[in-house]
Structure 1
Amino acid sequence: MPTNATYPGVYVEELPSSVRSITTVTTSVTAFVGHTRRGPLNHPVRVTSFADFERRFGGLTSKSPLSYAVHQFFGNGGTVAVIVRTVKAGTGEEACVTLESTEGHSECPVLEVHAKEPGLWGNGLRVAVDHDTPARRPTTTPAGGASRRTSHGEETFNLQVLDAKGTARESYGNLSMDPESGRYAETVINAGSQLIRVKVLDEGRPDPSGTVSKPFAHELPDLAVDLTVKIGEVEREFTLYDPDQDGEAPCSVTELALLLERKLRALPDAPGKHAYAGAQVTAFGRRLQVVAGSADPEDVVRFVGECANDLGLEASVNPPVFPLAGGVDGDVPGPRDIIGSEARKTGLQALRDVDDVNLLSLPELSGYENTEDMVTVLSAAERLCQERRIFHLVDAPSTWGSVDSARAGIGAFESVRGNHSGLYFPHLQLTDPLTGRLRTFPPSGAIAGVIARTDSERGVWKAPAGTEARLAGVHSLSVKLTDRENGLLNPLGINCLRTFPMVGPVVWGARTLQGADALDSEWKYVPVRRLALHVEESLLRGLQWVVFEPNNEQLWQQIRLNASSFLHGLFQQGAFKGGTPREAYFVKCDKDTTTAEDIDNGIVNVVVGIAPVKPAEFVIVKIQQMAGQFEL
């Protein structure tokens, strides 16, 4: 804003800079697409540690090469991964339980509880319900008229989600079955739960878990009675109230609940059980809810005998928890499931919704018996990688058990020799954390971790190979290569993994699939391709502000300044060759790149050139013997 000068003197005015900085984007966020134990289907989920992966996707399972790849990714230096869970189409069922209500009418299903994702894991979930909540207040009509109450009552309920061990995972309080309520069960749970989703079937709140008494009168009956209780198959007898031992008699339902809970917990349990010792008795309104201290649905609390009937301790009897059942794991996805549908954003196509993905791993492909299926998926992956500027780490087929089989099999990949992918051979041998035995794994997960570590320590322009590219946790390689054998595979565009004394297993190749000597591609090397992708994505995002700006010389000058500033930062870090910026990069945006016709069409053209540093793939040491020397 111009300064309004009103007095003689010096004025200070701050002016905005015309330079808009271009921020570097991520380089090593790795997407994994395939089968997991649990997790949302065809929905990209970002995880930042393997513990995070365990919470969201169930951790390691022998049927999921992806789970081991993620484990190796984080073990080798990876920091951020994007997981897309897929299953074979038409397979997989969600675990479910239907809660019923007996309030005011005959038994009726009112709430359907589903595991949020399909799979056996949902069969381990338990749901507990209680009514220990304050009653809802009457609601008034919009016009401020007389108060009204819904047909299914004004009371609410609590719902708790537990695991198979009885540990509470999620809790939701003061829920209502009224769609007009701000605590409507379907809205509250479905919006907040990571474990379940619910569907309201009818009016009426679900019955509480455990055993619920009839309402007690304001004046409690005689409590000095002998009761028989049975939890599961274990039956015990006790005296509810003994004046000599229990002091003053309870005067309220709450005091009665405390007395009954203390009596139940004092009873002996079956060996290894906690049903009596952990029993809980809750008072709500004028009723008691008695729940066994166990997550076993068989541990139903039953009060037996005439005295129990007189006290009304068995108005309704339910298990301590309502178990979900019927969950079925989805089958391992096939090629079509991995490729997915672009229209429905499934499989690989789900990554179109994610902005920051730099590397792709499809560890299940290496196990395909049919090479044609593998090539079909690789073709779809190559198209996606080109559109989204992603680099695909391709695992060699598991059938390549020797150098000869690798040389013979590489011909099948001729149709997918793109420069957005690199193939790695052989597979890794690691100790399986689930069994403690050696097992062979595809290498892409570990290599993605090595790339992330290299990017962090050296930069995206450093080849993720060499003695620094150690493969952590790797016991050995499925095929041990010699220098001569490495020399047969490297010219074919196959990146070899080697084991060297004092160093151990390392990545010993940095070529794209288009990097075979016979193809003579300018995108021969992995770091050159990835550096270009990094520059492209950074400039794409950093120049968004240009849209709708006046297309004139002033704009072109700002574009040149901003892009040059970004490239100069990379030059100073060693990303480009050349001793001066002029030798390392250029940015051209002027009347030569943007003609009058372009201006009329709303187009501004920016030409950027870079001179990337190529890796020293062959180091030749020449030694000359000095002979015939004489001293002066």
Structure 2
Amino acid sequence: MSPELLSSKVVVVEEEPRVRGIPSAPTSVAGAVGLAERGPIGKPVLCTSMEDYQATFGGFTPDSDLALAAMGFFENGGSHLWAVRTVHYEDATNPESHTATRATAALTTGGGPTPAVAWGTLRPPFSLADGQRMEVAVNGSAAVDVAFLGTAASVLASRPGPYALTSGQALRVRVDGARDVFVSFSDGDFADMSQATPEEVAAVLNAVLVGGSATVEAGALRISSDTFGAASRLEVGDEVANAVFGFPLGPQVGTGNVQSLRAVELHEVQSLVEAAVAGVRVEASSLGTLQLRTTITGPSASLRVQGGAGLGLGLDALLHQGAASGDMDVLRLEAKDAGAYANRLEVEVRPSTSGTPDAFDILILEDGAYRESFPNLSSSEGDARYIGRVLNDGRTGSRYVQVFLVEPDAVPDVQTVALSGGADGLVGLRDSDFIGSEVVKTGLYALDSVQELSLLLVPGRATPAVHNAMVRYCEVARDGLVFAILDSPAGYTATDIVSYIAEEAALEGLSEHAALYWPRVKVLNPSRGVFGNIEQLVVPPSGLIAGVFARNDAARPGGVYDSPAGIEAGRMLGVLGFETSEVLEEKKRDVVYPHRVNPLTTGPGLPRYIDGSRTLKAGGNFPYVAERRGVSFIERSLQAGLQFARHRNNTEGLRAQVRRFITAFLLTQMRNGAFRSMEPAKAFFVDVSNALNPPSVVFAGQLVVRVGLATNKPAEYVVLRISQDTRALEAELASAGA
């Protein structure tokens, strides 16, 4: 019933606010890619303190620029660091191809009959070829054939060359579910673009495609995925594909009994072999390699694997037999993370302190010191204290190892085993391992999932390729909403860094979404056991500079608009000195500063501080660090705050509402010191007029808003004009009538 039909009362009705509050976006959430002692590889992990970082990624190592950067970040005021551990990848497009390995060991029992076991020497995934076979003979029976099959998805042009192309045409190609790639054709790619040969077109495609390739077959163009197997996908689309080349439209799918012949997983081998061959089990060995074992034990058990696929899986062609008695693996132990750190771990098995039959205790040691204890365990999967359930529990299990059952219900002997075989995967490390792949989300692109990311650093890898990739990531992949902090390469003088930014890396004038800082800084040695008996270390400054940014941002509402530079806002905590004393000379700073390099320096009675606030690009809209970061903060906040307007009817009322919301937000930012003026008309404007939104724009499903900001400019130079005070003399002359 309506309120007026009820008895007399006061009715309260809450209305939607006329002006919505636009939430402020975070400004100092940092993302860092680097080397770590341990931790997940290629996965971003949020750390809110140095203790938090060490719990996941371990302590300091000789290559631990990431740990040193984290220390500087938190010491200087940072609170949110997404860390990504990287290692060397043999194939940048395959995240499983990293060369870091987990340390392993096995808990054994002795005395009983053993199965026949064929031990592999390779870890999955395995690389095989289409049609490769293995013949498996078990317990004297005839060999059973197991084939591995896979074909690539591909498309063949129905029209042979030459092809009539025009400049600016583009072919859309999507390989294996990755993003669409638009391959553009231009005059310079062909001798005669109107008579483009299949070979010329293939060369253009192969220069751009990742995970696929183009070939010429009987005078026609063929495009294929590099994946052979059921996971292979290829789609070539748009008018050019069909009209010019005659490619079939729609997705093409590969075939096979594995997902990818170039990356066959252990479970795929297990499925194929155990389905075809009776009396054999396929599993991982204690070293993580493939092994085949008979289900029966004793001298009558035998096993032989022959054929090309067997060699591809790391299996020999010898006859293996069981025995009447001997040691047998009960449990396989594996370090939680890949890395050489786990070679310091030991696992001790003791009789159960509870006295329960067939139960045992497990203790974990690191460098001889006890770290964890798990009492009263069982190797029976149905038991409440089953070791696989207890140690592998994500919340209460071991922080150091995980276990896998090999022999159900067998009880390991009392023993102490050391884990071995762990490797950090740093041999052959290259720039691409830090840059990563957009398709498989490694390196920088592992941070794609961190929506609130606002700062980017790659400590310890100051190279032209990495620096340019960082700038591209911030400007393109993150739409200009992330800011890159670039380190100076090690050992660079003032002239070196000028040559680097202007010529070697060609960074000068490149982007307003990044800034370069020189030189490296000296900090107190945090671990003499790792870095030796020296008092100070020279480290990249990006981590502590990101911390200065964060401290500055949090100092007051609108702190992001203040330049993180100078003896107060730019003070660097924990810095004891600089890699080169040149930066203490004003003339040397005068050499680097015009080239958009921000020096780090100090002076008599002054703290060590950031003495520059320039981005790489002088000619951009917002060429200063605080200016650029402040605008990015406003852009990110508006982007999130205006989500309510999407899919609503594009009327004058909606546009007026959008204008009010933006204006209210910018008024708050004005009061926080974002702009050069405290008068709204001089500080900013918001235009949602009909001139910007004519019917053609409205019918296109767009609502266009133009926002102008009168941003602050820092006082880079303080000019003192000093002259003789002649006022008294002038007054005397005036009184004398002179």
- TM norm structure 2: 0.62
Q: Does structure 2 retain, via aligned residues, the 8 Å contact 1:36–1:64?
A: yes
Q: What is aligned with 1:494?
A: 597
Q: What is aligned with 1:406?
A: 497
Separation in structure 1 between the aligned mates of residue 520 and residue 26 of structure 2, nearest angstrom: 28
Q: What is aligned with 2:424?
A: 329
Separation in structure 2 between the aligned mates of residue 187 and residue 179 of structure 1, nearest angstrom: 12
* Greater Cα shift, 567-576 or 545-554: 545-554
User: Residue 397 of structure 1: CA displacement?
Assistant: 1.8
User: Residue 183 of structure 1: CA displacement?
Assistant: 6.4
Aligned mate of 1:576, from 671, 675, 680: 675
Q: What is aligned with 1:377?
A: 466
Aligned mate of 1:426, from 510, 519, 522: 519
Q: Specify whether residues 184 and 380 from structure 1 end up closer, same or farther in structure 2 by C-alpha distance, changes over 3 A only.
A: same
Listed one character per residue, the Cα deviations across residues 166-216 of structure 1 (whole Å, up to 9, x for unaligned) are 434374876664389896826971644443333333422542xxxxxxxxx
In the alignment, structure 1 residue 585 sits paired with structure 2 residue 684:
yes
User: Residue 344 of structure 1: CA displacement?
Assistant: 1.3
Q: Specify whether residues 557 and 182 from structure 1 end up closer, same or farther in structure 2 by C-alpha distance, changes over 3 A only.
A: farther
Q: What is aligned with 2:535?
A: 437
Q: Does structure 2 retain, via aligned residues, the 8 Å contact 1:460–1:531?
A: yes
Q: Does structure 2 retain, via aligned residues, the 8 Å contact 1:94–1:115?
A: yes
User: Residue 331 of structure 1: CA displacement?
Assistant: 0.9
Residues 56-67 of structure 1: matches in 2 within 5 Å?
56-67=56-67
Aligned mate of 1:98, from 103, 106, 120: 106
Separation in structure 2 between the aligned mates of residue 81 and residue 433 of structure 1, nearest angstrom: 20
* Greater Cα shift, 420-429 or 98-107: 98-107
User: Residue 552 of structure 1: CA displacement?
Assistant: 2.1
Separation in structure 1 between the aligned mates of residue 362 and residue 5 of structure 2, nearest angstrom: 68
Aligned mate of 1:456, from 554, 562, 572: 554
Separation in structure 1 between the aligned mates of residue 713 and residue 375 of structure 2, nearest angstrom: 58
Q: What is aligned with 1:470?
A: 571
Q: What is aligned with 1:541?
A: 640
Residues 74-473 of structure 1: matches in 2 within 5 Å?
74-89=74-89, 90-100=98-108, 108-128=328-348, 161-169=364-372, 171=374, 177-178=380-381, 185=388, 189=392, 191-192=394-395, 193=397, 194-207=399-412, 317-319=413-415, 321-331=416-426, 333-366=429-462, 374-386=463-475, 387-388=477-478, 389-401=481-493, 403-412=494-503, 413-414=505-506, 417-434=510-527, 435-458=533-556, 459-468=559-568, 469-473=570-574
Separation in structure 1 between the aligned mates of residue 572 and residue 365 of structure 2, nearest angstrom: 39
In the alignment, structure 1 residue 72 sits paired with structure 2 residue 77:
no
Q: Does structure 1 retain, via aligned residues, the 8 Å contact 2:343–2:422?
A: yes
Secondary structure of 1:570 counterpart: helix
User: Residue 158 of structure 1: CA displacement?
Assistant: 6.3
Gaps of 5+ in 2: 90-97, 115-326, 528-532
Q: What is aligned with 2:616?
A: 513
Q: Does structure 2 retain, via aligned residues, the 8 Å contact 1:24–1:538?
A: yes
Separation in structure 2 between the aligned mates of residue 545 and residue 202 of structure 1, nearest angstrom: 58
Separation in structure 1 between the aligned mates of residue 11 and residue 46 of structure 2, nearest angstrom: 51
Separation in structure 1 between the aligned mates of residue 107 and residue 341 of structure 2, nearest angstrom: 20
Q: Does structure 2 retain, via aligned residues, the 8 Å contact 1:133–1:174?
A: no
Q: What is aligned with 1:257?
A: none
Secondary structure of 1:521 counterpart: coil
Tell me the amino acid that sits aligned with residue 329 of structure 1: D
Q: What is aligned with 2:15?
A: 15
Q: Specify whether residues 76 and 104 from structure 1 end up closer, same or farther in structure 2 by C-alpha distance, changes over 3 A only.
A: same
Separation in structure 2 between the aligned mates of residue 177 and residue 354 of structure 1, nearest angstrom: 41
Q: Does structure 2 retain, via aligned residues, the 8 Å contact 1:430–1:441?
A: yes
Tell me the amino acid that sits aligned with residue 377 of structure 1: V
Separation in structure 2 between the aligned mates of residue 187 and residue 525 of structure 1, nearest angstrom: 54
Secondary structure of 1:571 counterpart: helix
Q: Does structure 2 retain, via aligned residues, the 8 Å contact 1:186–1:198?
A: no
Tell me the amino acid that sits aligned with residue 70 of structure 1: A
Secondary structure of 1:433 counterpart: coil
Q: What is aligned with 2:6?
A: 6
User: Residue 40 of structure 1: CA displacement?
Assistant: 0.9
Q: Does structure 2 retain, via aligned residues, the 8 Å contact 1:37–1:119?
A: yes
Separation in structure 2 between the aligned mates of residue 552 and residue 170 of structure 1, nearest angstrom: 67
Q: Does structure 2 retain, via aligned residues, the 8 Å contact 1:93–1:329?
A: yes
Tell me the amino acid that sits aligned with residue 185 of structure 1: G
User: Residue 113 of structure 1: CA displacement?
Assistant: 1.8
Q: Does structure 2 retain, via aligned residues, the 8 Å contact 1:177–1:185?
A: no
Q: What is aligned with 2:233?
A: none
Q: What is aligned with 2:583?
A: 480
Tell me the amino acid that sits aligned with residue 471 of structure 2: E
Q: Specify whether residues 98 and 5 from structure 1 end up closer, same or farther in structure 2 by C-alpha distance, changes over 3 A only.
A: farther
User: Residue 120 of structure 1: CA displacement?
Assistant: 1.8
Q: What is aligned with 2:131?
A: none
Q: How many correspondences in the alignment?
A: 493
Separation in structure 2 between the aligned mates of residue 510 and residue 472 of structure 1, nearest angstrom: 18
Q: Does structure 1 retain, via aligned residues, the 8 Å contact 2:361–2:373?
A: no
Tell me the amino acid that sits aligned with residue 330 of structure 1: G
User: Residue 531 of structure 1: CA displacement?
Assistant: 0.8
Separation in structure 2 between the aligned mates of residue 60 and residue 482 of structure 1, nearest angstrom: 33
Q: Specify whether residues 135 and 610 from structure 1 end up closer, same or farther in structure 2 by C-alpha distance, changes over 3 A only.
A: farther
Tell me the amino acid that sits aligned with residue 62 of structure 2: S
Separation in structure 2 between the aligned mates of residue 35 and residue 78 of structure 1, nearest angstrom: 20
Q: Specify whether residues 522 and 164 from structure 1 end up closer, same or farther in structure 2 by C-alpha distance, changes over 3 A only.
A: same
Secondary structure of 2:561 counterpart: coil
Q: Specify whether residues 424 and 189 from structure 1 end up closer, same or farther in structure 2 by C-alpha distance, changes over 3 A only.
A: same
User: Residue 405 of structure 1: CA displacement?
Assistant: 2.4
User: Residue 568 of structure 1: CA displacement?
Assistant: 1.5
Q: Does structure 1 retain, via aligned residues, the 8 Å contact 2:351–2:414?
A: no
Q: What is aligned with 1:270?
A: none
Q: Specify whether residues 5 and 198 from structure 1 end up closer, same or farther in structure 2 by C-alpha distance, changes over 3 A only.
A: farther
Separation in structure 1 between the aligned mates of residue 2 and residue 669 of structure 2, nearest angstrom: 37
Q: Specify whether residues 173 and 14 from structure 1 end up closer, same or farther in structure 2 by C-alpha distance, changes over 3 A only.
A: farther
Q: Does structure 2 retain, via aligned residues, the 8 Å contact 1:428–1:442?
A: yes
Q: Specify whether residues 181 and 491 from structure 1 end up closer, same or farther in structure 2 by C-alpha distance, changes over 3 A only.
A: same
Listed one character per residue, the Cα deviations across residues 401-438 of structure 1 (whole Å, up to 9, x for unaligned) are 2x222333332232572111111112212332223423
Q: What is aligned with 1:630?
A: 731
Sequence identity, in percent? 32
Q: Specify whether residues 133 and 599 from structure 1 end up closer, same or farther in structure 2 by C-alpha distance, changes over 3 A only.
A: farther
Tell me the amino acid that sits aligned with residue 115 of structure 1: A
* Greater Cα shift, 122-131 or 389-398: 122-131
Q: Does structure 1 retain, via aligned residues, the 8 Å contact 2:379–2:409?
A: no
Separation in structure 1 between the aligned mates of residue 622 and residue 507 of structure 2, nearest angstrom: 17
Separation in structure 2 between the aligned mates of residue 448 and residue 168 of structure 1, nearest angstrom: 34
Q: Does structure 1 retain, via aligned residues, the 8 Å contact 2:391–2:403?
A: no
Separation in structure 1 between the aligned mates of residue 389 and residue 687 of structure 2, nearest angstrom: 58
Q: Does structure 2 retain, via aligned residues, the 8 Å contact 1:134–1:155?
A: no
User: Residue 62 of structure 1: CA displacement?
Assistant: 2.2
- What's the RMSD between the two structures over aligned residues? 3.0
Q: Does structure 2 retain, via aligned residues, the 8 Å contact 1:76–1:471?
A: yes
User: Residue 547 of structure 1: CA displacement?
Assistant: 2.3
